[in-house]
Chain A
Amino acid sequence: MKSLFKSTIIGAAAVVLMAGTASAGDLVINFDDPNPAPKAGFEAAVEAFKKANPDINVTVNINDREAHKTAIRNFLSADAPDVTSWYPGNRMGPFVDAGQFEDISELWASDANLSTSFEAIKPTMTRDGKQWGVPYSYYQWGIYYRKDIFEKNNVSEPKTWDELLTACDSLKEAGVTPFTIGTKFLWTAAGVFDYLNLRTNGYDVHNDLTAGKVKYTDPRIKETFANWQTMLERCSFVDNHATMSWQDAVAPFAKGEAAMYVMGNFAVAAFKDAGLTDDQIDYFQFPEITPGLARAEEAPADAFFIPANAKNKEDAKKFLSFIAQPEVQAEWNKTIGQLPPNSKSAIADDKFIQKGFEAVSTASGLAQFFDRDAPAEMAKVGMEGFQEFMVKPDRLDAILERLDKTQERVYK
C-alpha cells in the first residue's frame, strides 16, 4: 500500500513537472559567465552543493555576461529563477527598489558564518538597512604588465605618475604600445577613468561624482581628464580599441605588441589561455598621481540574489548559505583566480591573488566600479563619453557638458 502511495506521488510529481511548473526541490540558478574558468568554478560549487543536498534537483542556465545584463530585467519579472548572479552596490538598486529581489537580512543574521565573516563587504550588500545578496567573489583591479618586455627594455614597476609616463616613453621608443584596451563594450574605459579619478581626487570626490553630487565639469574632474589626456599622448593605447572587446584586446598583449593592461584580476585566466606564463606577466597597483592622497582601490564583487518571484526560496537560501562557507569560497576563488569575500577563507597561493589581497586589504576605500557605483543610465552615457574622449580628446568640453546634462536628469 505504501509503495502504491509513493508511486502515485511520483506520478503526480511527474505530471506537475511535465506541466512545466517547478515543484519544491527544484532549484533554478542563472549564472552569467560562460568563460572557461568562471564556468568551471561555478559548476564545481554547484556539484558540491548537489552532493550535500541530494534531494534538490538543480538546474543551471549559463548566459553570456553582456546578455545576462539585459536579460535579468526580463526574467526577474517574467520567468524568475530561484537564484541569479548579479552585482551589488548601486547596480542592485533598481531591482531592490522595485521589489524584485528578496530581502535576506534574516539569513545574514541567523547564519553564523554570514554574520561574522563578511563584515568588510556587508555594506556593499546593504540597501535601506537590509541585505539583499551573498557575495561569492571579488577581485582587485590594477595594471597587468608584461614583465619580460619591461625587463628587456629596462623598465621597472612605476610607483608614481611620472615614473609611469617615463616607462611609457621607453616602451614607445622600443616600438611597444604601452597600453592595450578594448572599449567596444565601454566598461573597460571606465576602469581607466575610475583609477585616474581615484588617484587624482581621492575616494570621496569619486564617490560624490558617482552619487551625482559633483559635476563632470567640476575643475577637479577636469583635472582627471587632463591627466587622462597626458596618458593618451605619452602612453597611448592600442589603435582600434573601439572595435575590440576586452578579450580581443588580450591578443596584442599576448603578442607583445602592448605591454600594460588596466584590468580586473579575472583577466589573468584569459592571459594564460592566450599562452602567457606566470613568468611573463605581473601586476602593480595604479601609481600615485596626487602625492599623499589616501590610496583607494577598485574592487568589484560578484554576488547571488534571490528574485522576489522565485518559486523555491527555501532551497535558494540553502544555496546562498552554502556558497558563503569559507571552504567553498576558497575553492571557488582558487579556480577563478579571485578573492573570497569570506574573511576566514584561505587565499590561493598565487602571486596575483596574494598581491591583490594585499592591495585591497590595505586600501583606504574600495570602489565598486563606475557602472555599479553610478546609476545605469548615467553609467551608459558616462562610459560612452569616456570612449569618445579616448578617440577624440579634443571634444572634452562637449562631452563633459553632455554628462552634466544627463546627471541633472538622472539624479533629480
Chain B
Amino acid sequence: MFPRPIEKSSVGVRTAYKIFLPIALFIWLLPLLAIFMTSVRSAADINSGNVFGWPSSFQIIDNYTAVFTQSDAFTYFLNSIKITLPTVAISVALACLAGYALAIYRFKAALPLFFIFIAGNFVPFQILMVPVRQLSVETGLYNTVTGLVLFHAAFQTGFCTLFMRNFIRALPMELIESARIDGVGEFRIFWHLVLPLVRPAIAALSVLVFTFIWNDFFWATVLTNGEASKPITAGVRALNGQFVSQWHLVSAASLLAAVPPVLMFFLMQKHFIAGLTLGATKG
C-alpha cells in the first residue's frame, strides 16, 4: 500500500492526521457549506450583509418552500426527471446491443466503428449545435422533452458503447462459444447469457449517465426555451435572473437541483466509482 499506512507511524503523526482530516474536508467543502448556510438565512440577513456570520434566524422551511411557490422550480424538476430517465434507458439499451456486437464478433469494421463511437464522445458540443438545433426545429422536436431525450441518448451512446464493449470484452468468452456450439441463437445468447452478466455495468452506466444528463446545461439552453421543457439546470439560471439579490432563495434552489445526483451517488456509490474508472482505463 502506498503511501505507508498511517498505523505504522508514530502516535503523534497518527493523531495529527486524524485531526487534520476533518479540517481538510471542511476547507474542501467550504463552498458548499457556505451556500447551505445562505439557503437557511432570512432575507434580512442577506440585505444587512450578514452573509457569513451566524444566521439571525433559521428559515430553512420558508426558503425551500418559497423556491417552489414563487417559481416554476417544480416544473423544472419534473422536466429534468422526464428528460433524464428515458435518456438513461435508451442510451444504455443501445449501448448494450452495440457494445455486445463490438466485443463479441470479429469483423473488419469493428475496431473503426468502436473508435468512431469513442471519438464522437469527445467532440466539442459546438460543432453539433447549429445542425442539431436546426434538425430539432424542422422536426418539431425543438423545445420538447422528446427532442432533448433523443439527442442526449444519441450522444451518450458513444460513451456507453465504449464502456459496455470493454466490459463485455472482459467476460469469459468460453461461455459464449459453448452456447453457440449448443446451437443457441445470437439474440438468445445476448439476452439470456450476456445481459445477466453485465448487470453491474448497466447499473454503473445508469448512474453515470443519470448524473451527466441531470447536470447538462448546454443542450438545455440550446434546445429549449419555455417552461414546458426546461430542466432544472437551465431553471436555476432563470431563477437566478428572477430572484435578483435574493441569494438565500438562489442558494436553496441550487442545492435542490443538486439533490438527485447526490442521492444517486451516495446510494450507488460503488457502481458510480466503478463506472468512472472501469469504462476507459480498460482499453
| Direct interface between A and B, CB < 8 A | yes
| B-binding residues in A (CB < 8 A) | 30, 34-35, 61, 63-67, 70-71, 74-75, 77-79, 245, 247-248, 251
As a 0/1 sequence over residues 227 to 257 of chain B, the CB contacts with chain A under 8 angstroms (1 = contact) are 1100000000110011011000000000000
Give A312 to B140 CA distance when docked, in angstroms: 18
With a CB–CB cut-off of 8 A, which chain B residues contact A67? Answer: 225, 237-238, 241
| Contact A74:B143 (CB < 8 A) given known A61-B227, A79-B226 | yes
Give A409 to B77 CA distance when docked, in angstroms: 44
Residue in B133, B137, B226, B237 whose Cβ sees the most chain A Cβ within 10 Å: B226
* Cβ contact within 8 Å between B225 and A63: yes
With a CB–CB cut-off of 8 A, which chain A residues contact B237? Answer: 67
What's the tally of chain B residues with a CB closer than 8 Å to chain A? 16
Give A74 to B228 CA distance when docked, in angstroms: 14
Minimum CB–CB distance for A252 against chain B, Å = 12
22 CB < 8 A contacts A-B: A34-B241, A34-B242, A35-B244, A61-B227, A61-B228, A63-B238, A64-B242, A67-B225, A67-B238, A71-B225, A71-B226, A74-B133, A74-B137, A74-B225, A75-B225, A77-B137, A78-B137, A78-B142, A79-B142, A79-B226, A247-B245, A248-B245
Residue in A63, A71, A78, A251 whose Cβ sees the most chain B Cβ within 10 Å: A78
* Cβ contact within 8 Å between A247 and B137: no
A-B interface contact total, Cβ < 8 Å: 47
Q: Is B157 an interface residue (CB 8 A)?
A: no
Give A58 to B140 CA distance when docked, in angstroms: 22
With a CB–CB cut-off of 8 A, which chain B residues contact A61? Answer: 226-228
**Nearest neighbor of A65 in chain B, beta-carbon distance:** B241
Q: Is B136 an interface residue (CB 8 A)?
A: yes
Give A66 to B225 CA distance when docked, in angstroms: 12
| Contact A247:B244 (CB < 8 A) given known A67-B238, A78-B142 | yes
With a CB–CB cut-off of 8 A, which chain B residues contact A78? Answer: 136-137, 140, 142-143
Given contacts A34-B242, A70-B225, A78-B140, 16 further A-B contacts (CB under 8 A): A35-B242, A35-B244, A63-B225, A63-B226, A67-B237, A71-B226, A74-B133, A74-B143, A78-B136, A78-B143, A79-B143, A245-B244, A247-B244, A247-B245, A248-B244, A248-B245
Minimum CB–CB distance for B51 against chain A, Å = 13
**Nearest neighbor of A62 in chain B, beta-carbon distance:** B227
Give A77 to B139 CA distance when docked, in angstroms: 12
Minimum CB–CB distance for A73 against chain B, Å = 9
Minimum CB–CB distance for B243 against chain A, Å = 9
* Cβ contact within 8 Å between A66 and B241: yes
With a CB–CB cut-off of 8 A, which chain A residues contact B136? Answer: 78
Give A75 to B228 CA distance when docked, in angstroms: 12
Residue in B142, B227, B245 whose Cβ sees the most chain A Cβ within 10 Å: B245
Closest 5 CB pairs of A and B: A71-B225, A64-B241, A78-B142, A247-B244, A78-B137
Give A79 to B133 CA distance when docked, in angstroms: 13
With a CB–CB cut-off of 8 A, which chain B residues contact A79? Answer: 142-143, 225-226
Give A6 to B143 CA distance when docked, in angstroms: 34
**Nearest neighbor of A72 in chain B, beta-carbon distance:** B225
* Cβ contact within 8 Å between A75 and B143: yes
With a CB–CB cut-off of 8 A, which chain A residues contact B142? Answer: 74, 78-79
With a CB–CB cut-off of 8 A, which chain B residues contact A74? Answer: 133, 137, 142-143, 225
With a CB–CB cut-off of 8 A, which chain B residues contact A34? Answer: 241-242
With a CB–CB cut-off of 8 A, which chain B residues contact A70? Answer: 225
Q: Which residues of chain B from 203 to 241 have any CB-CB distance to chain A below 8 Å in the complex?
A: 225-228, 237-238, 241
Give A247 to B245 CA distance when docked, in angstroms: 8
With a CB–CB cut-off of 8 A, which chain A residues contact B238? Answer: 63-64, 67
Minimum CB–CB distance for A80 against chain B, Å = 10
Q: Which residues of chain B from 52 to 79 have any CB-CB distance to chain A below 8 Å in the complex?
A: none
With a CB–CB cut-off of 8 A, which chain A residues contact B226? Answer: 30, 61, 63, 71, 75, 79
